[in-house]
Structure formats: structure tokens, C-alpha cells
Structure 1
Amino acid sequence: MRKTLSLAVAAATMATALIPSTSQAETKDDLNWDACPADASPGIPFPAGMQCTTLKVPLDYRNPAGPKIDVAVSRLPSKDPAKRRGILMTNPGGPAAGLGYPATLVLAKLPQSVLDQYDVIGFDPRGIGHSTPVTCDLTAEQQLYGNIPPYAKNAADVVKRAGEVQQIAKQCAASKTGSLLPHMSVANVARDMDQIRSALGEAKTSYLGASWGTHLGAVYTTLFPERSDRFVLDSNLAPGGWDYPSDRLFSQGVEDRFPDFAAYAAANFREYGLGRTPAQVTAKFHELAARLDKNPIPADGVEFDGSMFRLLNFAYSYGATQMPGLAQLWKSLDAGEPPAPLEASAAKIAADGVDQVISGRYAIICNSSRWPTSVKTYQHAVAVDRIRFPLFGAAGANVQPCAYWPNPAEPPIQIGDHGPANVLMVQNLRDPATPLAGARKMRQALGDRATMVTADEGGHGVYVFGKNQCANYAATTFLTTGVRPAHDYTCTAAASPR
């Protein structure tokens, strides 16, 4: 039996009651579909028939007749009208650009049965990509760690980082897009999704979202339960989204995932020489990190220190295909050589224009949750997590610009269990970025609305990007038939380790 409306959902409902809901199926817009921008899907070909457009949406949904901003939208139409069910809105996580995500899903072999039943919809969230962007005018140095804090070796490192991120927050507010910042939030991205649904003339939307996209999907189906059809949430954040507890969970995720790499490196000792056993590989990690903390290696304009080493171990843990590259990086560093190519080069950061992605991400996550404001809180958490999670704890617990962010326009949306039972969660057991511990909290928050299928795999991403046929089958079956598993269960490991 579904639980009654919780106080958390009631609070979210009251918080959004003042925001008019203008989206209805009968307000279909005449959208001008055209070729997609070439940079919407770098290195990935657009599938035949994929088109893009721009939709005007309110900057502030409390003032729907006020200023408008652009949201870039893509569509890969179903080619089988007899089987077409509706639209499948998608989000790759991040927050990051998703305009080209339908092309990525096709390349990853999204089943034809899903492509037949849905027009697959992608979009760039407000503040990012081809939607109206925001900027914090970040320098290459400020962009170096992206949205993940550096590893803090001591309390003084936390104070240093606090000063750096306070400056970032000031730059964001003072930038030419500073007036837009209060309206960059996950709740408003969800409302933009509902505007897309309405403009397409659809009464409901189905959804496939990964990583941060699971939070976006959960927020949408909390705000618009009656307009939610079949929702698949892949690699789940906790119900608070990307907040400080989520940042600290990165450290748990790295601890969960690292044994897979240690086993790989030990099994390939002859090639990499990093240790004959997983225990020896783990000891080598700490040896390299300590050595680089004391004697960083200059590489492409970047001081490759222990903090950068730890960050790349986190970033390279998303899939098995990255393990050889990570092991080679260790081998080079162990020999005192700079890794090549170094993806974190200062020149590459400046050339890629990463500022806009990082700035948009800061704006959305900082406006969507509440962060501690005391430096002592972060110092204490760093000291605790450095011991609890020695691989990455003092990075995950470090301070972010959100600690100094101006007050958002509305309180965070509270995910709850009020609405139809139409959510399927899929989750790897050893996910470094969105660990199982957070997914279990999301599962609890959604209550009877959700069923969760876990896969005995490592890495970030399950559906179509993973090799677990059991978990993939559950997601495809739900999207194409509406039939979910009757209860939560775990799929055994796939033949190919991730």
C-alpha cells in the first residue's frame, strides 16, 4: 500500500505552490526543427532523422510573462508510427549538455524496440551548452579540478581552498550573467522539461536519466507526478541530489570501486609492475600519492601532485576500458615521468572553454541544495574522512563554492513517495561517482513508487553502457511494456568485468 503524503513532499508542494503551472498538452507549440549544431555531439555521428530546435522558456517561473531564456532541444523521431508510444526525455548527468545525448544512446545500442516506441528527446539544461549559458569567468587554474575539490592534506589546505572557492562564488555573482544565477536550479530544469513536453503536444513523458540526471528525473516526477509515464533512473544520487553529503559519498564510491582496479593491476603485473597482489597495488597507491605530494611532476603547465593523482584515479574508475590507461599512468609516475597525454593540461582547459560547463554546473547544484558555511565544519569532515576513506576522503569532504553562494530563489525540492509506481532504478554495486549507499537512500525516499535492480558490477552507468544483460533487460522491458520487477533484486556479475 502506498504511503500517505509525507511532510517532506508537502513542504515541496507548498514551496512550489506559488509558481504557476502553465504547461498543458493542448498548448503544443510550432517548433522550427533544423539540423543540429555540429558540436552538439563531438565525435559521434547524428543518427538519421535527428533534428534540433530552440524553445523559449520563462527565466523565472514565478513570473511566466517575464524575461525568457533559450533551451536547446533535440529529437530523434520514432520511425514506426504503429508502435510509437510517446516521448522519452533523456539526460546524461553532469549537469552537462545533453543535446547530443540521443546520438550517444544510439551509438551505445539503445534497443530498437525502445527507438520504435519513442521519440528520443535530448536537451541542454539552462545555463549550459546551446541553452542560454552562464559564466563565472573562471581562469584555467580555477577550472583545473572541475567541480571536484582537491585533496586536503591538512586543515590549512581547507582554509586555502575556502579562499579559492569564495573567490569563484564572487566571480559568478559579478559576471555578466550574474542576474541569471538565482534561476539556475534543478527545479527550474525540471520545469523546462515540462515546457518541452507541452511544446511537443504530449500529455506525459517517459524518462531515461543517468547520474545527476537521476536527481533531475526524481525532481520532475515529484513536481509533475501526473505527467510522468515510465521513468528509468540509472546510477542514482541520494534524494538530496548533488549536495555536501553527496560530495562526501564520492569517497565511499572510490573505496567501493578501487579493489576492481587493484585486482586488474595485480593480474597484469608483468606489464605494469605495480604489485603482484591487490594489497601491494594498494600500497603502491599510497606510496605514489605521498611521493607526488612531496615532489610534484611538471606536466603541460600543471603541477602533477598527489591531489591530481587522486583525482585522476577517481575519474578513470568509471569503466573497465579506462583501467589500462590508469595503470599506464601509474607506471609513468612510478618511473618519475610525466603522464602523456595529460588530459588536465592548462592549455587544453583554456582551449576547450570548460568554464561554461563548470560555471553552469556550479549554478545548478549550488541553487538546488544547502551547504555548510563554516570552514571548521569542512575541516572536521576532512579530518574524519581522511581516516575513514584514505583513498579520496580528504577530497570529497573539501569545501565547494556552494558554501559561499547567494541565497537561492526557492528551497530545495524534497523527493517523496507520493505519485504513481512508475520508477525503475538501476544501479551498480561498485559505482565510484554515485555509490550504492546514496542509491539506497533514493530508493527509500521514493518508497512504493520505485523498484531497484542492482548489478554486481563496478563502474558508473548501467543501462546500455554496461554489459549486465540482466539489468539491461529489466530497463528495456519496463520502457517497452511498462512491466517492472515485482520486487528489488540483484543481478549477478556479467562475463566481462567493469
Structure 2
Amino acid sequence: MRGRRTAVAVAGAVVAALTGTVTGVPPAAGAARADAGGRAPDAGPARFQQQEIAWHRCQSGPDDTVGKELDDAKAQCAEVTVPLDYSDPGGRTIKVALSRLRATDPGRRRGSLFYNPGGPGVPAMYLTLQVKQAGPAVAARYDLIGMDPRFVGRSTPLNCGWPTVSIGSAGPDRRAFDRSAALAKDLASRCAVHRDVLPHASTRNTARDMDVIRAALGESKLSYLGSSYGTYLGEVYLQLFPRRADRVVLDSALNPDLFGPDLTSTTGPAVTAVLENWAAWAARHHGRYRLGATTAQVLATVDRIGQAVTRGPLRVGDHQVDSRVLPQLLWNVTAGDSDEAYGSFAADVRVLSEAARGVKVTPTPVLEQVLTGLSSPDADGSASVQTAISCADRAASRDPDTYYRDIQAHRADEPLFGPLTRNLTPCSFWPVAPAEPPTRVRNDVPVLMVGADGDPAATYPGQQAAHRALTGSRLVTLRGAFRHTVYGGLFAPRNACVDSAVNRYLVDGVLPAKDTTCSAAPAAGRR
């Protein structure tokens, strides 16, 4: 992880489908509106694949710092026209924005490598710069393509005008749960104005957009690097277009049979394991953080904070932390397992512990940033589009009692994170149904999968399920690591063994002969 601030953003993206936390590069402003487009004489899908891409500079104006960085790196940007609804290719169209960084060794260029960092709903145009920095040998052989998925960033952005970015935890009782359900219902109703485009926000359509761009680029096949939600996008692409995939790497793969509004319901135990690992680290640093001299004492400190918020909100600077917000703050233990990340989180917990004792406190800079974000409106639409993608991929139960019963059933074994991860989402009240059933991923396309066995978001059982579904895959497991994503230091500490496996495959086409493991460098929690 390049820093705690970045780590918090990535941890937020993991739970975005549930909490609506804003993450990633800020999208360009604009209301969601499908391009009128009109109907062309040739209304078939081939006309989209045969379009000529008009590359241009990336900076759209003097305040566009993201575009300026891309221009400074000699990237090119463009917009590609795709159908709003692929079952009606002669109908309305939308624009999908992309960036391209040319291969630095054109004489040995292999093709185009698409990158998706996750989310769902995180813009990818800018992040190709990080891929180039993380894997220079990869950047030498491939044009790096960053595509903002449909309705994200610069790709015909969708914005429901939500007054908050987060539903948060269901809290300790039925009254608190009912408040979260009322908020979810209100947020869903605000998206009804976009009911004509919402069914088409699916991952299946984003995969189809990728294939249109592949063809428009003149590539017979595409290579792909996806992390977190980006692995599900890759899984869906492989299922829809198995013969058009070249070299595919899935970093921290999600279970393709579970992706949708309720995916996070499986993550509570993994997040608890990260919290316990951090607590062991904090106990060894008791002299600095004063949270407890043993793992049990540190966890008891966290429990006391949780008990305090059930009696009333904690005052933290200018913010109030209640039972809806606290689990979201504690979720940030998943931001990384380095000393830096764990130390920053310990400082946050220390502030919360003091507040629970009635002491007047000032939040750390990171805690201030997170609390401000959670109390702010969804100005750029990031939370609403993240939710729209999940709702379009898989239908959620429309009976709130289903969620409340599930939360109650797990109060004993998941007292802290269960009411957060198992809470309902706006998808339970969504104004439209998915246009298509979920994608059943089952194929034998060669794939390299990498991931940590202590991943709090792409849980290891989920990675193994994806591995079984992709029978041509090889899995490289980073043992003893409590982090989400493992390649290239993009969002977590680098591991030479993982990087070597990925680079060898992307550059030389060599898959491991069998599943294998890498050892984490001594992680913060194990020292």
C-alpha cells in the first residue's frame, strides 16, 4: 500500500456495494442520460466493432488534473459508441471513455491489456499510469487500456443525487434496522428517474463494451488484468467471449456465483480475522497506543467502544459516531496489513476509545477524512452507480425481514460486522429488475489467479470457488497475508513471488504447471 489514505479508499471500494462509500478517482460531473444516438441504416452490432476510434488529448479543461496527468504521460483518450441495450443494437447508444498508454517497446508489442481496478464503479482511465509504474516489463509489451465502465467516470455518468453515500450498519435492534431500510428505500426511489438505463448497467454489458473496444482497436484477442470486482468482470468476459481472451490475470477473485447486492454477507468472518490479526499487532505496541497488552485486551477495547455507541453517539471532533457508523470505521482495519496501515488504524481506535470514555477528542486526519466522507452527499454519483451495477447483476430479496432474520441469526457469531455486511441495500427496493439472469461462469480458458488467503473482501473460499469454476486456471496463493489485492504494489505491499508469477505469464505466457504458494514477507500482525 502506498499509504494509509489510499488504503482506506480501497477498503471502501470493497464494501461499496453495501455501504455506498465513495472511492476511487472522482468521476466527471454530469447527469445520467443515454445518448440519443439515433438509428443507423446498419443497426447490427458489427457497426460498433468497426467504428474508428478518434484519439485525442485527455485533459478536458484547466481543472482536469486527471486528464493533465494522462497527457503528461503521453496517454491518448477517446470515446467509443456502444448500444445501451445489446439486445436492441439499433436503438439508443451511450459513450464509453477510455485511455491508452502505448507499449514502451513497440518492436516487441504483444497487444492490448485492459485493466479494471474493481469497485464496482471505479474509473480506470487514470489508473493505467499505476499499472505502468508497477509493471514496466508488462507496459513494454502491451498497450495499457483503461476503460471507465458504462455510467462510471467519463462514460455517460449516472447520478441519482443521493443525499448520503452510505446506509451503514443495521445497528443493535429492530428500530435501527428499520431506519436503515427506510434510508435504502429512499435512495432507491431517487434512482427511479433513470429507470430506462438502470437495467443496462450490468457487468455483462460492460464485458460486451470491452469486446466492442477490442474489435475497434483492431485486436483479435485482448489480455486483461482485473482486481477485486474487476475479477468478476473478467470472469464474465471469459464466459461470454472465451475465444477472444489472450492472457488473463485475476487478482483477488470473487466468487462468480455470489456476486451481487448480497456478496458482502460472506465477508464478516474474514474481516473479524483481520481485526484479530491487527489486535495481536496492537498488543505488541501497547506502549505506544495503550489499547491493551494482549490480543484479548485490545479486542475488549474495541468491544467497549461498541457498547458505548449503543448507549448513545460518540462525539469525535465535529462528528457523531453511532451504531450505524462505527462498524464502517472499524472496517478500515482491512486497509492493509503493513506496520504503517496497522499503526494508522490503531491511532483511529485510540481516538474512538477516548471518545467512548467521554474524553473530548480530535480525529486523526484519516478518521476526519472518512467521517467527512460518510456524512457527505453523493455529489458525483459514485455510490449510486456502484449500487446500480450490483442491482443490475443479480436480484435481491425484496422482503426486508429476510435480512433482519439473517442479522439476528448471526448476532452471536458476528456481533460487530454482521449488521453491516448482512444489511439490506437499495437493491431490495430497486425500481427495475435486472434485464438478464446472472452469468453462470463455467469454462476452461487458461487464467492466472493470485490472491491472499487472509483476504477480507475476496475471501479465500470465494477465490477457491472461482478457481473451481475456471477449470483452466492456476491459483497462486499468498500465504499468511491479510490484504486485498496482491499484485504490483497497486493497492497493497508488493510481493516478489506474486509479481514474478504475474509478469512471467503476461510477458512470456508461462502459467505455473500447478497451483502454488508464495510466502508473505513478515506481515505487521506476525512480528
* Bucket of the pairwise TM-score, normalised by the shorter protein: 0.7 to 0.9
Q: Is the 8 A contact 2:347 2:364 kept in 1?
A: no
State the partner residue of 1:451.
Answer: 474
- 1:72-91 equivalences under 5 Å are 72-91=97-116
The separation in 2 between residues aligned to 1:470 and 1:51, in whole angstroms, is 33
Percent identity (aligned):
33
1:384 pairs, out of 409, 416, 432, with 409
The separation in 2 between residues aligned to 1:296 and 1:24, in whole angstroms, is 58
1:485 pairs, out of 512, 518, 521, with 512
Could you report, residue by residue, the CA deviation over 1:231-285 in whole angstroms, capped at 9, with x for unpaired residues?
1111121113532552212212202312221122112111110011111111111
* Residues 1:344 and 2:356 are matched in the alignment: no
The separation in 2 between residues aligned to 1:24 and 1:461, in whole angstroms, is 37
Q: Is the 8 A contact 2:248 2:447 kept in 1?
A: yes
Q: Is the 8 A contact 1:72 1:131 kept in 2?
A: yes
Q: Is the 8 A contact 1:259 1:278 kept in 2?
A: yes
Going from structure 1 to structure 2, the CA distance change for 1:399 and 1:42 (only over 3 Å counts) comes to farther
* Residues 1:370 and 2:389 are matched in the alignment: no
1:354 Cα offset (Å)? 4.5
1:35 pairs, out of 51, 54, 58, with 58
Going from structure 1 to structure 2, the CA distance change for 1:346 and 1:312 (only over 3 Å counts) comes to closer
Number of aligned positions between the proteins: 466
* Residues 1:308 and 2:325 are matched in the alignment: yes
The separation in 2 between residues aligned to 1:301 and 1:191, in whole angstroms, is 46
1:143 pairs, out of 162, 165, 172, with 165
1:345 Cα offset (Å)? 4.0
Amino acid of the structure 1 residue aligned with 2:100: R
Q: Is the 8 A contact 2:292 2:298 kept in 1?
A: yes
State the partner residue of 1:173.
Answer: 192
Going from structure 1 to structure 2, the CA distance change for 1:338 and 1:306 (only over 3 Å counts) comes to farther
1:316 Cα offset (Å)? 3.9
1:315 Cα offset (Å)? 2.6
The separation in 2 between residues aligned to 1:114 and 1:436, in whole angstroms, is 27
- Could you say what secondary structure the match of 1:78 adopts? coil
Deviating more after overlay: 122-131 vs 289-298: 289-298
State the partner residue of 1:195.
Answer: 212
Amino acid of the structure 2 residue aligned with 1:72: A
Could you report, residue by residue, the CA deviation over 1:138-158 in whole angstroms, capped at 9, with x for unpaired residues?
00xx3145xxx4143123322
* Residues 1:158 and 2:181 are matched in the alignment: no
Deviating more after overlay: 213-222 vs 399-408: 399-408
Could you report, residue by residue, the CA deviation over 1:129-186 in whole angstroms, capped at 9, with x for unpaired residues?
11101122100xx3145xxx41431233222222211111111113xx3321121111
2:351 pairs, out of 295, 310, 332, with 332
State the partner residue of 1:117.
Answer: 141
State the partner residue of 1:470.
Answer: 497
The separation in 2 between residues aligned to 1:347 and 1:121, in whole angstroms, is 30
Going from structure 1 to structure 2, the CA distance change for 1:276 and 1:382 (only over 3 Å counts) comes to same
State the partner residue of 2:131.
Answer: 105
State the partner residue of 1:280.
Answer: 297
Amino acid of the structure 1 residue aligned with 2:346: A
Q: Is the 8 A contact 2:281 2:524 kept in 1?
A: no
The separation in 2 between residues aligned to 1:209 and 1:223, in whole angstroms, is 16
The separation in 2 between residues aligned to 1:364 and 1:35, in whole angstroms, is 26
The separation in 2 between residues aligned to 1:217 and 1:30, in whole angstroms, is 23
Q: Is the 8 A contact 2:48 2:212 kept in 1?
A: no
The separation in 1 between residues aligned to 2:318 and 2:166, in whole angstroms, is 11
* Residues 1:54 and 2:54 are matched in the alignment: no
- Could you say what secondary structure the match of 1:430 adopts? coil
State the partner residue of 1:15.
Answer: none
* Residues 1:461 and 2:480 are matched in the alignment: no
State the partner residue of 1:233.
Answer: 250
State the partner residue of 1:9.
Answer: none
Q: Is the 8 A contact 1:318 1:432 kept in 2?
A: no
The separation in 1 between residues aligned to 2:222 and 2:138, in whole angstroms, is 14
Amino acid of the structure 1 residue aligned with 2:165: Q
* Residues 1:416 and 2:433 are matched in the alignment: no
* Residues 1:295 and 2:319 are matched in the alignment: no
Q: Is the 8 A contact 2:448 2:475 kept in 1?
A: yes
Amino acid of the structure 1 residue aligned with 2:505: F
Unaligned runs of 5+ in 2: 1-42, 356-360
2:94 pairs, out of 64, 69, 87, with 69
